Amino acid sequence: MMLPPRVSAIVFDCDGLLLDTESCWSRAEAALFAEYGHGFGPAEKDMLIGRSVPAACAELARFFGRPDDGPRIEADLLARVEAELAQGVAPMPGAGALLESVAGRVPIAVATNSPRSLLSAALDTSGFGGYFEVAVTADDVAFPKPHPESYLVAFGRLGAEPSDGVALEDSSTGVAAAQASGAFVITVPSQAGATLTGDFLTAALTDPEIMAWGRKVRGM
């Protein structure tokens, strides 16, 4: 499907789409799994990717055979992730160039299932924080992705109609949320071999068609 030349706004996911925070999360998750005596591979990662932290940790608690320990596991995981983020976060290929192209010409926001503390740490470390007019985190909504609330709030705070906007996502959870909001969805899977849906699918933000669109797209 052709990328829209005019949009009301663009809302970006963060983890795995703009920033390689997924590697930080994966290292923290692998260490947590090891502590409970489990290996960590693609199947275990698939249990967690794209989900809100409380939902992911509730699933982990069940998986570890400790169904009542979700809050404690969540606190442990967040501390591990913050320590990883403090070491620095690399941008995903093409992310910086795309943000530079659209910033100032189209209203842009970031919408994530991460808590605000982790998003702020990631954006500050990467230098991407100054691009966004609005940031919506798990702390700002009652229903995280795959519910569309994060996207509806982000577009709403930008004064934009989702049906005229674009969302960029990398996970099935995020894609479901973006599609339910009514936005045009650009999907860039962060997991190798993942089969996702969307209105425009590509392997990376460095896709020449994405780069050209970023230089030409205009607001309404």
Measured distance CA(47)–CA(101) in Å, rounded: 34
What is the rounded distance in angstroms from the CA atom of residue 25 to the CA atom of residue 14?
13
What local confidence, expressed as pLDDT, does residue 183 receive? 98
For 17-59, the pLDDT digits (tens) are 999 987 888 899 999 999 999 999 988 888 887 677 888 899 9
CA dist., res. 83 & res. 146, Å (int): 27
Q: Model's pTM, two decimal places?
A: 0.87
CA dist 35 → 25, 38, 83 (Å): 15, 7, 17
For domain 6-20+89-219, the question of CATH label 3.20.20.100 is answered with: no
pLDDT of residue 110: 98
Cβ atoms of residues 99 and 168 within 8 Å:
no
Token couple for 36: 């409970």
Parallel/antiparallel/unpaired status of strands 108-111 and 134-136? parallel
List the chain domain ranges: 6-20+89-219, 22-85
Q: What is the mean pLDDT of residues 192-214?
A: 94
**pLDDT of 64-81, one tens digit each?**
999 999 999 999 999 999
pLDDT per residue as tens digits for the range 120-168: 989 988 999 999 999 999 999 999 999 999 999 999 999 999 999 999 9
Phi/psi of residue 15, nearest 5 degrees: -65, 115
Band (214; pLDDT cuts 50, 70, 90): very high
- Provide the pLDDT for residue 142: 96
pLDDT, average across residues 173-192:
94
pLDDT digit string (tens) for 83-132? Answer: 888 888 999 999 999 999 999 999 999 999 988 988 998 998 899 999 99
